[in-house]
Structure formats: structure tokens, C-alpha cells
Structure 1
Amino acid sequence: MTPELEGSLHRAKDLIAAGKFNDADELLGPLKSENPLSQDIARLWCSLAMRTDRVAEVPVYATTIYEHVQGDFYKAHWAHVLGTASFILLDLPVSQAHFTTALNHLMALAKSGKIPPQKEKDKQLRTEVNVFASGEAEKLLWVTCAQLAQLNIPAFPFAGTLLGLVRNGCLLDFDKDIDIAVRMESWNACCAALEQAGWTKVPMRIEYANYRDYVHPELGITLDVCGLQDRGKQIVGGFALPGYPDDYQRVSVFPKFDLIQRDTEYGTVWFPRQPEKILRAFYGDWRTPNPNWDTVVSALNLGNFTLLVRCYAYHRLIQHWLLGNLAKAWCYAHQIALKDPDDVFVLRSRQWLERAMVRLNREMPVWPKNQVQKRIYTRMVADLFHEGHINFLRAARALGTHLTVCVVSDERVLENKGKLPVMKQAERAVVVAACKYVDAVMTETPPGVTPEYMLRNGFDIYTFACASERERQEKYKLCHMLSAEMIQELSYTPGISTSDLVLRIQEGAGRKHTDEKS
């Protein structure tokens, strides 16, 4: 490649990145005519065409390049380009066929002991503030939701935005966009209001009827708007393509949920009354972070693993494999296999990726178990932590997959037992947190255990142990509103208690003190 041609391609790449598509086309068009079989020119031209209304021209051109190039890596790349173009054109069967061809080339490459070189991320010096970590994006979220609420449009935080607010108390600092949802009866009004407020609609390669992207012109923050529809006892979202068959849809199903109004410093907004219901349906164990989560593929509430979702997942799998990011490619292969265990191409792809990572001594990714967990909740004093406490916590943890312990306050102990514990609450909490059977410790909870509290925290079972009938009656009073299946009483370890330890300490200290005097 001559320096002049290389410079032209760099300028074209910068123009595409800046969204100056007409200028890029004026530069690439003559180069394409002069060098019709140049892969470097073809890559940029196809990338440009798939961002404009010329995507229909890609398949013929990319097919010519595919037939011309040699080697499985280049064949896989151009099969991927063909699959992507067909996907945008909504020719999904053809898209799947091209993606399958790309996978076959990549597996052949792996079989020969080769992998694509891993491309490092561009190291650009960025001085701008992360607007998600700084709070700027969250401020924009609440301002936008408050503006919509004033117009009687009940838009509310959704998906990853809702996850961050509920799990972390703020937006996820690694997030890339703000997600809000609105019922379809308010869809048109919501989109019109956003544009009136200054949000700019982003052209999408596929125009879905219930999903739209906007960008804030000043902050550059992307806003994803999801339309939801009530269907009896369920609420349905996803990607809708009216007029296309079921295999062209992406349907996500949520249990029925209500909205409430919440005051913020930027105005009153709408928010899910029980956000945990949405998060549990979407993520399963939403409290466990999963850095490899992909909203389109990973969601547990997919109605069906349709051809639309499969083609998207294939696209991402192949894309990461071509970039040499084997761990990320493996994660997509694994997710597809979870949805369709009979997908032979994906199963074989995952095996070849594993072989390559083992050979290169790369760390194997671990996919978190994102199925719904059975979360156990209990309250205890845990003063002078002893064997009985350990036995109880071991048995409590065995009831499910996650154990949360509330270490009650000193004041509550004084109120119930008429005396303060030997150890302060902070000291007791540290000891309980160090127990291997405990996943989380809380220090501030209401005295009673209600169904609302259990649901809000995702707890499935409340458990306790009783040393006497009086204590049993008192503990059942605290949870009398729970259903029987949510309550589990465990056996009390006889022969040891904190009171016994206190007496032993007092007696032992006295004898030791007497011996020392004599």
C-alpha cells in the first residue's frame, strides 16, 4: 500500500467515525473503482455502506471479495460482513448461513493451530469526565423523567439503569447509555416529548416499533427507550417488527408490576413499585455482577430464542473471535449453548475456543450462575460467637444458595433481653461476616419481617432457631405475616449459649485470679 493510499484510508476512517458519511463516500468511491479487489478499501466502503442507505449494495461486493481472498481468516471476515449485511437487510436465513460459514472458517483456523491476533483497545488519552461515574448521567436521567412525568408520560428507569439504581444506589459507572421504558400507549407522546426537549433521534440500522435510540446533543449521552405492552398478567417488551413472522421478533416477558411516584431534587418521577420483580425476571440473580452480560442474548425472560436473537449472537461471537478476544467469544458461544443446547456449530466453536485458550495459557472465563437464587434471611445477636452460632449458620445456608444475616443492634438486645451484649454491634457484625456460610451482613432492618420486606430484598425464606417455647412464640410473632412456606425453624444447638460462656469466663477468671494471689 502506498503512503498516499494509506493516508486516504485513514482520512476516510476518521470521516466515518465522525459521521461525515458523504465526505467519506466521495473519498472512497474513486478508490473502490481504481482498486476493486483491495480488502482495505472494501472494508471501509462496506462499513460506510452499512451505516447508510447503501447496505443493499454490500452483498454483491462482499461476495466478490470473499471469493477472491485466500485463507480461513480472511474468508471468515468476509463471511461475517455478508452475514451482517444480510442481518441489517432482515434476510435472516441468509444471514445465519453466512455466519455459519464464518464459524466453519474460524474452526478450521483453530484446528490448524492458529488464532486471529488479539487487537488491543486504542489507547487514547481521555481527559473528559466519566459522566456515569460523576453523576451527570443520573442527573440527566431524573431531569428527563421529571419532564416526561409533568406531561403525564409515565417513563421510568429500566434494564441496566434500573439495575444500577437498585443494586448500587447509583448508575453503573461502566454503563454506556441510559435506559428508560414506557407503556406503548404513551410511546408516541414520549418520543415526541424527547425530541421537543432537545434529544436527537439516532438512525438505527433496523427500525423496531418499540425501541428507539436518542443522543443528548451537549453531553453525548445515549438514551434507549423501550416500549412495553400490557398483556393480562404479563408485560411484554423486546424488539418488535410488525408484519414479520415470529422468528423475526425478540420478545421479553415480565410479571405484572406497578409504578409509583418518587420525589427527586429535579422533580417528581415514576419508578417501579417493586423493581426487584423486573430485575429478577431479566437477570435472575441480579445481585451478582456479570461483566459478560449481553442484554439481547443473556436475558432470562426471552420468550423464545428466535432467529433474530441467534443471528445477533452469532454476529457478536464471530466479531470477538476475529479480533482475537477468545474469552469474549467463548462467552457468546456459551450463552447461545445455554439457550439452544442442540446448536452443534456453537458447541464445536466453544470447544475450539477452549482448546485455543488452554494452549495459549489464557484464563478461562467463568460464567456466573445467573439462575434465580434461593436467598435466606435471618436475624441474630451473635454475641461471643460460638459453636452453636456456626451450626445455625451452616444449617441456614444449606436451605438455599445465599444467606443474609441481620446482626441486631445493641439497643434491640437491651430491649429484648434487659441487658447489653458483651460485644458491640460492629464487633459482632465483623465476626459474622467472617463466617464462610454468610454471604451478606445487614445492621439496620425493621424488627418485624413482612412479605414486602422479603420481596424488596429478594429473600425467599426467613429462618431462626429457638432455645425455649417463649422465644419461639416471640420469633413467630415477628414474622406472622409471612406464608408458612417462607418460614423455616432450625434446631437449636444444646449445651452451649452466650450466657453459659459468660458464666464460664467469670468463673474461670475468678479461679485464675485466686491462683495468682496464692
Structure 2
Amino acid sequence: MNEHDRNALQLAKQSIIEGNLSEAGRLLNTLKKQFPLSPDVARLWCSWAMRTDRTVEVPVYAEKIYLQAGSEAQKAHWAHLLGTAYFFLLDLESSQDYFGRAIHHLIALARAGKAPAERESRRKQETGDNVFTSGYAEQLLWSTCAKLAKHNLQAFPFAGTLLGLEREGKLLDFDKDIDIAIKMESFETCCQLLEENGWSYIPMRIAYRNYRDYIHDESGITLDVCGLEQRNAQQIVGGFSLPGYPADYQRVSVFPVFELKQRSTPQGDIWYPSQPEKILTAFYGDWRTPNPLWDTVISALNLEKFTLLVRCYAYHRLAKRWLSGDLVKAWSYAHQIALKDPDDTLALRSGQWLERIMTRTGREMPVWPQNRPQRRIFTRMVADLFHPGHVNFLQAARSLGTHLTVCVVSDQRVLENKGKLPVMTQAERVAAVSACKYVDRVITESPVNATVEFMRQQGFDIYTFASANDKERADKYQQCALLPEEMVRELDYTPGISTTEIVQRILKHAGE
């Protein structure tokens, strides 16, 4: 291949990136005739073909390159590409076979003491800015749902979007898209209105009946629309539906029946689940404990069955992450498959070899949150001039359960209660408490007087506090007087140190 041909190949690659598929096809079809067994040409041609209507031609061509590949890494790449092509063609049996071959080649590579290097592009992407942190994505969510509500369409936040709103009070910073759901009888009308209001349909490689992707024309934010339908009096189902295909080609997720209510937002009235925890518990189980390794398509606890379709998704992502050098994510997929199917020896072997590689290379071993009953602890505190007494209290509070949430009360509340402002502002006190290793979450607002309804809505099991004197003890028992006795736990106060004592010490030294 001379310089002219290499330039043509680079131009074809750039044309694919820019979405100019006709120009890419013109260049690549010429190069394919000239260099039919060139891995570089074949890789790019297959990538182009799977973005057009020529996916059906990929397996025969890619098989030739796969058979001549020399290294285990090359074989793994081409087996993964073949599995992907068969996946798009909905030949899931062949897809599973080739994804399995890709994983076997990667295990052989690991046995030889090797692993693909981590791709630079992935590292850069993870350290870049995320539009979800700015708040714009949330505003777009509310404005979109409000527009749909004006047309009597009950679209509402769903999946990871609902999780962020309920657990963090905002969209998840690391999220990739906005998720909304709507009843199937309104699905087509909803999709039509989205296209009339600044959203463009993204054609999917597999045309599911009840799932579509959109991109916002102005911001580039993507939106997933999930169609739900009521199966019976107790169940609502969603997932990926392929009419005309067998049960193993479906992904069915099951939810308990839930109701929607209207909620006001700055962008207008929208629809929202009246009991969001019912949806989230079905999806995630303990949804209040973050799990950055979670994959909703595969991990969801409410999958009716771990079908061939879901297994192909899982194998595809396991091999893809391994090939890209992201060993932690690859391990997480092996682990998730084994959770769904403990007899999947390929997933078990993958996890073991990935652990060996990470141990040998000194990488930190990933930890999957344990599936154990959660006991969530809640407390309110000032935490002014954060000191060892605060640390002792928080350590004792955390030992009562598996998760500790601390409400750092406002400056105004301290003024009302103690007759003076704290030395540190609320923001400063929040920063100090957040840095304590015994604290899982910090919030800045909560009812002064805790109620059973508040505790249950937030998922808290125990309300705890410590008291410096009898007056403070009486005040704090008054604040939890509405809770049953088994929900309240008083902890010991650390003697010999307090915020007041530290202030006096400062004044004394300043005077000296």
C-alpha cells in the first residue's frame, strides 16, 4: 500500500467519523478490491458496512481475515467483530459463538502473561467535562417532559435518570443519556412529538418495538424512550421487544404496578412516579448504594429471564472492554454474567484471569457491592470546627449499620437554636463532614422533627444522636419524638472536647 492508498484509507476513516458514509463507501470499496486481505482495509470496510445496509456482507469477508490473523489479540478482535455483525443480523446463536471465541482468545492472551493496553482515547474521555454536571441536561429533561405533558402524554423520568433524581437530587454526573418512559399506547405519538420539538431519531442497529434513541439537535444530549405496558393487575413490563422472534430473543423487565402524579418544575408541569422507590427497587435492589460498575441492560434485578439476547449483550461488552484494556469494566461484566448464570464457565474463567492480570500488574482490585440487607443510619449535626469528638460520633453512628447519611444543619438553624452563628459556614462544615471516611452521604436539608414518613421515604432505618448535656438531650429527643423507640439510638458523647472549648482555647492563645 503506497502513500496515496494510505491517505485514501485515512480519508475514509474521517468520512465515517463525520457521517459521510457515501464518500467513505466509494473509497473503501475501491481499496477492498485492491487489497482484499488487508486487515486495515477490512477493519474499516466492516465498520462502514455495519453502518449501512451491507451488514449481511460482513461475516463472509471478516471470516477470511479472522482465519489468517496471527496473534491471539488479532483473533480476539476479529471474532468480536464477527459476533457484533451476527448480533446486528439477529443471528444470536452465531453471535454468541463468536463472542465466546473472542473471550477464549483473550484468555489465551492472559495465560501468556499479556493483556491489551488501555486505550488513550478512553482515558481522555473519562477525564473530560460532562454536560450532566452543568444542570443543562436536567433542564432539558423537564422542558421535554413538560411539552409532552401539554399533549396529555404521561412521559416520566426512568431508569438511571430516575435513580439520580431520587438518590442524588439531580442527574448522575457520569450519566450518558436521559431516560424517559411512557405507556406503549402513547409510544408512537410521543416519538413523533419529540421529532417536532428539537430531537432527531437515531436509527438503531436492532429495531426494537418499545425502545428508541434520540439526539437533541442543539446540545447533542441523547435521550432513550422506553415503552411500558401493563401485563396484568400486578405487573408492568418493559425491556426490548422483538415481535416475531422467540422468547430467547426478548429482554423482558418486570415492575410492580405503579401510579404517576403531576409535579411542578420551572419548565412546567410534568408527570412523575408517585412511588419512585417501587421502580428503583425493582431495577436495582439497594438503589441507594452507588455501584459505578452497574449495567442496567445486564444487571437489572427485574429481568424475567437471562435470555440469549441479554447474554450476547453481556459477552459483547465483556470482550469489548477487555480488548480496549479496561480490565475493571471487563471484570464487572464477567461478574454480572456469573451472578445471572452461576454455571457460565466462560464468565467464571474470564473473571479469574482478569483478576490474575490485575494482581500481576499491581492494579486495584474491583469490588462489587455485596448483595446484603442494608441498614441505613441518619443523623443531624452542626459539626462546627470539626474535631475528634465529631469523628468518634460518626464512627459510632456508621457502626450501627451499612450506610450513614448526615444532615449538616443550616447557619440559620444554628442561630435559632443556639443564639449565635457557627464559626464555619454551612458549606465549610459540609466539606469537612464529607471528607470523613465514616460518612457515605451528606445532605443540607431535612425536617427538624423527624417523622416515620420521612425516614421511610429516604430509606433510613435508625435515627441517632449524641448529647453534651441534659438540655441538649431533651431537645434531641423532642426532635425524634414522632419515631418509634426501635428507630432511635442515642450514642455516647466524647468528653473533654467541644467546639466551645476549642473557641476558648483559640481566644486564650490569641490573648497571650
Tell me the TM-score range normalised by the shorter chain: 0.7 to 0.9
Paired residues of 1:407 and 1:425 also in contact (CA < 8 A)? no
Q: 1:434: how far off? A: 8.1
Match of 2:237 in 1: 236
CA RMSD in angstroms, aligned pairs only: 4.1
Is the Cα–Cα contact under 8 Å of residues 395 and 490 in structure 1 kept in the other structure?
no
Task: Assess, with a 3 A threshold, how the Cα gap between structure 1 residues 387 and 223 changes in structure 2: closer, same or farther.
Answer: closer
Aligned-partner residue type, residue 92 of structure 1: L
Aligned pairs for 1:323-402 (under 5 A) are 323-369=324-370, 373-378=374-379, 397-402=398-403
| Cα distance in 2 between the residues matched to 1:381 and 1:17 | 53
Q: Quote the Cα distance in structure 2 between the aligned partners of 1:139 and 1:115.
A: 42
How big is the shift at 1:140? 2.2
The TM-score, its normalising length taken from structure 2, stands at: 0.82
Report the counterpart of residue 121 of structure 1 in structure 2. 121
Q: Is 1:40 matched with 2:26?
A: no
Is it true that 1:64 corresponds to 2:64 in the alignment? Answer: yes
Distance 1:478 1:49, change over 3 A: same
Matched-pair contact (CA < 8 Å) for 2:15–2:21? yes
CA contact 1:283–1:370 (8 Å) conserved in 2:
no
Separation in structure 2 between the aligned mates of residue 264 and residue 435 of structure 1, nearest angstrom: 34
Which residue is equivalent to 1:82? 82
Structure 1 residues 497 and 176, CA gap change in structure 2 (3 angstroms): closer
Confirm or deny: 8 A CA contact 1:250 1:308 kept in the other structure. Answer: yes
Between Structure 1 and Structure 2, whose CA radius of gyration is higher?
A: 1
Q: Give secondary structure in 2 for the equivalent of 1:74.
A: helix
Change (3 A) 1:278 1:77: same
1:366 positional shift: 3.2
Aligned with 2:181: secondary structure?
Answer: strand
Mapped to 1, the partners of 2:131 and 2:404 lie a distance apart of: 35
Distance 1:18 1:440, change over 3 A: closer
Q: 1:465, 1:324 → 2: CA distance? A: 49
Deviation for aligned residue 1:80: 0.9
Is 2:257 the counterpart of 1:249? no
Q: CA distance change for structure 1 residues 449 and 80 in 2, over 3 Å: closer, same or farther?
A: same
Distance of 1:98 and 1:113 partners within structure 2: 23
Whether the aligned pair in 2 keeps the contact of 1:283 and 1:300 (CA below 8 Å) is yes
- 1:178 maps to amino acid: I
In structure 1, the gaps of 5 or more residues are: 510-518
Deviations 1:243-274 (A, max 9, x none): 32222222223333322222222221112223
| Residue of structure 1 in register with 2:508 after alignment | none
Aligned to 1:157: 157
CA distance in 2, matches of 1:362, 1:412: 46
- Please give the alpha-carbon distance, in whole angstroms, between the structure 1 residues aligned to 2:414 and 2:146: 43
Question: Closer, same or farther in 2 for the Cα pair 1:138/1:489, shift >3 Å?
Answer: closer
Gap change, CA 1:448 and 1:354, over 3 Å in 2: same
Instruction: Give 1:298's aligned amino acid.
Output: S
* Contact 1:410/1:421 (8 A) holds in 2: no
**TM-aligned CA deviation for residue 389 of structure 1:** 9.3
In 1, are the aligned partners of 2:464 and 2:491 still within 8 Å (CA)? no
Residue aligning to 1:95 = 95
How much has 1:353 moved relative to structure 2? Answer: 1.6
Mapped to 1, the partners of 2:384 and 2:13 lie a distance apart of 66
Structure 1 equivalent of residue 107 of structure 2: 107
Question: Quick one: structure 1 residues 79 and 411, their matched pair in 2 at CA, closer, same or farther if it must change by over 3 Å?
Answer: closer
Tell me the CA shift for residue 123 of structure 1.
9.1
Could you tell me whether the CA contact under 8 Å between 1:429 and 1:441 is conserved in 2? no
Shift of 1:433: 7.3
Give the match's secondary structure for 2:120.
coil
